[in-house]
Structure 1
Amino acid sequence: MPPRGPRVKAEKPRDARGTLTRTLRYMVDYRYLVLVLLVCTFASNVGNLLGPSFAGKAIGAAVGQGQVDFATVAHYAKWMLAAYLFSNIMSFLVNQGMMLMGRRVANRMRRDVFHKLMVLPVSYFDRNQAGDIISRVSYDIDVVTTSLSSDLVQIMTSVVTVVGSLLMMCIISPPMTLCLFVTVPLAVGFTRYMGKRTRPLYSQRSAAYGKMNGYVEEMFSGQKTILAYAYENDVCAEFSGINHEAADAYCAADTLGMTTGPTVNMINNLGLSLIGLLGAILYMFGLAGMEQISAFVLYSRKFSGPINEIANIINEIYSALAAAERIFALLDQPEETADLPGAQALTDVKGEVEARHVSFGYLPGRTVLHDLSLKAEPGQTIAIVGHTGAGKTTIINLLMRFYDVDSGEIRVDGKELHQLTRSSLRRAYAMVLQDTWVFRGTIFENIAYGKEGATREEVIAAAKAARIHDYIMQLPDGYDTIISEDGGNISKGQKQLLTIARAMLYDTQMLILDEATSNVDTNTEQKVQKAMQELMRGKTSFVIAHRLSTIQNADKILVMEHGDVMEQGTHAQLMAQKGVYYKLYASQFE
């Protein structure tokens, strides 16, 4: 197998503006909803901006002429209450609409990511941990869509409020508005400075969570092995270190990020103090009345409040951008190379397979297979044996075109693989792997997975051939029994037999069997071997085996060692040579 990549990915923000643009494109399909929400946002802010004006007039009526005009105060109080009530209703509608849009965007983004995963080459999954990929599909997309549904509303509201408040303050008192030219540049400059420092930290936080998720997924999948080797304390200690890294990354990002809000709030309070001082001076000289000063102070709070809120949520936005970059990094991964123009579908398969002087390496400069040549005539069984790491599975990867050869060529029925469509090539093989895979569903659905429209009779016949029918009939619901996720409610041997039955039902002319009986006991193996012989009859079969007793009847045996074919021939021929195969056989049966 190819080497896995490093567990920690040194991700840095590449283009925050470009990432934001790509994220917002997901909202294009909901542009009419966005337009309605913008109108509601504007209406909500109009109500919010009218409130201080009515409040200032009420205060003016209360202190004017030294006598309280209760009727006027009540009149403006009612209008102020109506304005704020209307504003809150519009704000509620905006929040509900954005949550609805956020869910739809999350659905579309997950669909895009999942569809992308289906067309990525096998090499991507060999290089990346499953937990890190899952983290992008779940955690990162949640972070992005949560920011879209909440932070975006806050920003839209804040922009309208800031602009409206500034306009009203300029109308009320231009001199007092000058105080804002001191505090606003300070707040904006500080926010931008902190943004540059926090963005890399949020990228590191996302990478740390991906690493942690990958480790957890890896350890959970190997839980029984951990318990068998009494390695629990070591695993816990290693997880503790990874968890500390994630916690430190989270703390480093949020500790620095959380200083932004209070600092901007302090700057805004400084501005409020300057406004109060200047307002008092203007009042002393009769240049401003209590109504104007009261309304201006309220508008200044309306003005500074959103700036403070933006400073607080800017960290969440940077966190969302870091998560979005990870998502788009996955979406930007190169897909499997497209079929060549004019590539033909492989039909009427005979099963003639030939490799000519094939060399291949998973990494540049590290060749795994050296000058491999072999030929399988239709209906022949080719067994591939050798020590771990000899290159046996690599041959299967090349036959299925999970990877392309570096040099040489592979032909099926006389046609070079690049002349054939990938889908038709892969459909021409049935596979039974050592790592069994079953999904949550009925036993019937799992066996019939590879054959669309399979009848119950066909499934039962395949199960009988795989020697698992009797076991299935002992289950409460027979073939309708639900297999739990990853087959947790059946044994590994039973899962192996299910995958063998699946391959038996799949009508192909070529088979790949990678340690297909590794998880069954000796007694069951003998029964399955007879079924496998029936399955392989008349079909070109490639069998990877460590138990040499299972491949003695193969038409040709390839003995692999360090990527080279050291010997090839029948069992009898290789035993007579008394070479590498003879030693392997002797080591198992001495």
Structure 2
Amino acid sequence: MRRSQKFEKPQNRKGTLIQLGGYLMRYKWQLFVAIALTIGSNLLALVGPLLSGYAIDAIELGMGKVNFNQVFYYAFWMAVFYLASAGLTYVLEVLMIRISRQVTYAMRKDVFNKLLDLPVGYFDVHQTGDVISRITYDIDTVNSSISSDLIQVSSTLITVLGSFFMMFAISPPLVLIFAVTVPASILVSRYLVKKTRPLFRRRSRKLGELNGFVEEMVSGQKTLKMYDQEENTISNFNIRNKAAVDAYYHAEYYGSMIYPTINLINNATLAGISVFGALLYLAGSMSIGQISSFVLYSRKFSGPINEMANIMNDLQSSLAAAERVFALLNELSEAKDTERMANLENVNGDIGLENVQFSYDANQVIIKDLSLQVEAGKLIAIVGPTGAGKTTIINLLMRFYDVGAGNIYVDGNEVKEVTRESLRKSFAMVLQDTWIFHGSIYENLAYGKENATMEEVVQAAKAARIHTFIEHLPDGYETILSDEGTNISKGQKQLLTIARAMLLDAKMLILDEATSNVDTRTEKKIQEAMRYLMKDKTCFVIAHRLSTIQNADLILVVEQGNVVEQGTHEELMAKGGSYWQMYQSQFE
């Protein structure tokens, strides 16, 4: 059952920058060193144009009238300063790569930990591919920005301020040219950035949607081939692919306007400096060397502004990616257990539901007013039409969702008053959707029981009627299963998950269509083995095949969120009600 409410947060650029800054401040001492290196390397580079001017002024008018001693002296120190600046820049680059690596590691770790803390409902409304896109592509985009763009931004600030100071020291009147061009650059940049920011946000979102679609189609290859949907799938992919590349194109196209526009303004600035500098030289207010130094400083002043405009695209892309990452990190986690909550211990298995109501959204109530008592050690079967609320009952028992009203009790303890860990460890659960991870068969079977011995694993496998199959594999229980167990059949995967559940020392078992992928004969053998292994334990079985639940101690017939009938198979057949009609529809 999917919920309709959205988890999207409103866009918050300021909040995103604050959170990103929080990650950077985890490595504040390395950042302080990086700032010092940035200041040092840029200040050393700023000395070069001044020395160049001095060297030019050592050249007098007329052939051979050059003071080579002064020229070589200033050229030597220019080389020293530039080499020192290059060395500091190299160290800075290495340090920033190290910082970005640490930030990426921490961010990806936090996102993965957050995924484990999120309620089940989050994954009901978010595509797996989109979630994966956030933890891979979006974080990589942020990482790239940290390792390169931050250096450029900080270098730009220092270079611009330093160059402006040097130009003002050389010729205050000539600096007045920037009183016109700098405001023009700022206004144009702000306007274009404001226009492009939503485009980069849309680009990240469309790429996430494309990844989500691809993930769904790859996992459903057999189904789409069975229904001959290749052409339709390609058509749908082309639509999403075009939307993604169009979003990328529009973001890059309009973002690319920033650099040439700012560059045009800076070239106009250089033309103005050339004209007015020549007039000041003729007036005797400036020397040739000073004009040369001023021009070099003007290029250092305008060059970083050009670079700043050029990296705005990357910054906008990184900001959009960071927004998506932090939107996930800012989701409400599953409520934490409080200290006053007790641990379920020595569980007996008595379960009670008292006037339970629940809805995934306000428009559709799933469970209306459900009350029932289940004695420990009973096998309870839950049947009913699709959408009646069968699986929802299981989700409420496990506290994947909390009830909207009413109470659920385990051994007289209200489930909201006990820790989730102790509650969920009291259940063993087998779902219709099997989950097998990359690892050995032994690791998959022992997944839920720490330090499980091989003897215990083998016993569970025998009970689930999968031991013989495992023994015939080349490496037996050490056979490596591929991701999602694609190298074994679906029925075999289901038997493995059943064996995994049998291995747990849990007082309650939940089977949600757990034998839907095995044949009837094997299913009956499994049920016989489970009845033996689950002796004195409470077992909930959701089933559509009524032939598999005739020996249940209690059958609950659920319709529209209410238990309309309950009793044994014989009692319900004698009533001639909903259960009788369901049974007749299957066997008539």
* 1:271 alignment partner, SS class: helix
1:38 aligns with 2:32: no
Equivalent of 2:359 in 349, 358, 361: 361
Deviation readout 1:93-132 (Å, 9 max, x if unpaired): 1111111110110110111111111111111111211111
Q: Distance in 1 between matches of 2:122 and 2:586?
A: 37
Letter in 2 for 1:32: W
From 300, 310, 313, the equivalent of 1:315 is 313
* 8 A contact 1:385–1:559 mirrored in 2: yes
Q: Is the 2:23–2:103 Cα contact (8 Å) retained in structure 1?
A: yes
Q: CA deviation at 1:72?
A: 2.6
Q: Could you tell me how far apart the structure 2 residues matched to 1:505 and 1:421 are?
A: 22
Q: Which of 350, 353, 359 is residue 352 of structure 1 equivalent to?
A: 350
Question: Counterpart of 1:264?
Answer: 262
The answer to whether 1:249 aligns with 2:261 is: no
Match of 2:322, SS state, is helix
Q: Is the 8 A contact 2:120 2:401 kept in 1?
A: yes
CA distance in 1 between counterparts of 2:244 and 2:8 reads 14
C-alpha contact 2:4 2:361 (8 A) present in aligned 1: no
Aligned residue identity for 1:54: L
CA shift, 1:65, in A, is 6.0
- Of residues 302, 305, 308, the one that matches 1:304 is 302
What is aligned with 2:539?
A: 541
Partner of 1:279: 277
The residue type equivalent to 1:171 in the other structure is: A
- CA deviation map 1:25-51 (0-9, x unaligned): 111121111111111111211221111
Deviations 1:549-589 (A, max 9, x none): 11110011111222222211100011111221112112222
Q: Distance in 1 between matches of 2:60 and 2:530?
A: 99
Tell whether the 8 Å contact from 2:9 to 2:327 is kept in structure 1 after alignment.
no
Cα pair 2:16 2:322 within 8 Å, conserved: yes
Q: Provide the rounded CA distance (Å) in 1 between the counterparts of 2:284 and 2:78.
A: 27
Q: Cα–Cα, structure 1 residues 116 and 172, in superposed 2: closer, same or farther, change >3 Å?
A: same
| Structure 2 SS opposite 1:388 | coil
| 1:116-155 aligned within 5 A | 116-155=114-153
Residue 2 in structure 1 maps to residue 2 in structure 2: yes
Out of 205, 213, 216, the residue aligned to residue 215 of structure 1 is 213
The correspondence for 2:507, drawn from 484, 506, 509, is 509
SS in 2 for 1:62: coil
- Any gaps of 5 or more consecutive residues in structure 2? none
- CA deviation map 1:144-177 (0-9, x unaligned): 1211111001111111111111111111111111
Q: CA deviation at 1:259?
A: 0.4
- Provide the C-alpha distance between the structure 2 equivalents of 1:179 and 1:398, rounded to a whole number of angstroms: 71
Q: CA deviation at 1:242?
A: 1.0
What letter is aligned with 2:24? M
Equivalence for 1:24 = 21
Q: What does 1:26-425 correspond to in 2, within 5 Å?
A: 26-64=23-61, 67-339=65-337, 342-425=340-423
Shift of 1:523: 3.6
Deviations along 1:49-83, one digit per CA (max 9) or x if unpaired, are 11112222222223456522333323322222222
* Deviation at residue 340 of structure 1 after TM alignment: 5.0
**Aligned residue identity for 1:326:** R
Give the CA deviation at 1:305.
Answer: 0.4
* Shift of residue 208, structure 1, vs aligned partner: 1.0
Structure 1: gaps spanning 5 or more residues:
none
Which whole-Å CA distance do the structure 2 matches of 1:280 and 1:268 have between them?
18
**Conservation of the 8 A alpha-carbon contact between 2:4 and 2:360:** no
Residues 5 and 361 of structure 2 are in contact (CA less than 8 Å); yes or no, is this contact kept in structure 1?
Answer: no
Count of matched residue positions in the alignment of Structure 1 and Structure 2: 587
What pairs up with 1:563-582 in 2 under 5 angstroms?
A: 563-582=561-580
User: Cα 1:431–1:54, aligned 2, differ >3 Å: closer, same or farther?
Assistant: same
**Which shifted more, 181-190 or 533-542?**
533-542
Task: Tell me how far 1:472 sits from its aligned partner.
Answer: 1.2
Distance in 2, matches of 1:62 and 1:245, equals 62
Q: Are the aligned partners of 2:8 and 2:327 in contact in 1 as well (CA < 8 Å)?
A: no
Amino acid at match of 1:124: Y
* CA–CA distance in structure 1, aligned partners of residues 131 and 464 of structure 2: 35
Tell me the CA shift for residue 257 of structure 1. 1.0
Q: Which amino acid aligns with 2:337?
A: D
Equivalent-residue separation in structure 2 for 1:233 and 1:10 (angstroms): 33
Contact in 2 for aligned 1:13/1:200 (Cα 8 Å): no
1:489 aligned counterpart, secondary structure = coil
1:456 is matched with 454
Distance in 2 between residues matched to 1:521 and 1:70, nearest whole Å? 97
- TM-score between both structures, scaled by the size of structure 1: 0.97
Whole-Å Cα distance in 2 between the matches of residues 456 and 63 of structure 1? Answer: 93
Contact 1:11/1:203 (<8 A) preserved: no
Match of 1:140, as an amino acid? D
**Equivalent residues of 1:5, 1:128 under 8 A apart:** no
- The residue type paired with residue 503 of structure 2 is L
In structure 2, the CA distance between the partners of 1:4 and 1:482, relative to structure 1 (3 Å rule), is: farther
Q: How many angstroms apart in 1 are the aligned matches of 2:559 and 2:462?
A: 38
List aligned pairs for 1:469-480, cutoff 5 A.
469-480=467-478
> Which AA in structure 1 matches 2:16?
T
- Cα offsets for 1:237-256 (capped at 9, x unmatched): 11111111111111111111
Judged with a 3 Å threshold, the aligned counterparts in structure 2 of structure 1 residues 10 and 573 are, in CA distance, closer, same or farther, namely closer
Paired residue type of 1:561: E
What is the TM-score of this pair, normalised by structure 2?
0.97
Moved over 4 A (4+): 9-12, 63-66
Q: Give how far 1:373 is off.
A: 1.4
Q: Is the 8 A contact 1:431 1:511 kept in 2?
A: yes
Q: Which amino acid aligns with 1:288?
A: M
Identity of aligned residues (%): 54
The alpha carbon displacement at 1:352 in A equals 0.2
1:403 to partner: Cα distance: 0.9
Question: Distance in 1 between the 2:370 and 2:94 partners?
Answer: 63
Q: Deviations over 1:478-523 (max 9, x none)?
A: 1111111111212111111111111111011100001111111234
User: What RMSD in Å do the two structures reach over aligned CA positions?
Assistant: 1.6
Q: 1:485 to 1:215 in 2, by over 3 A?
A: same
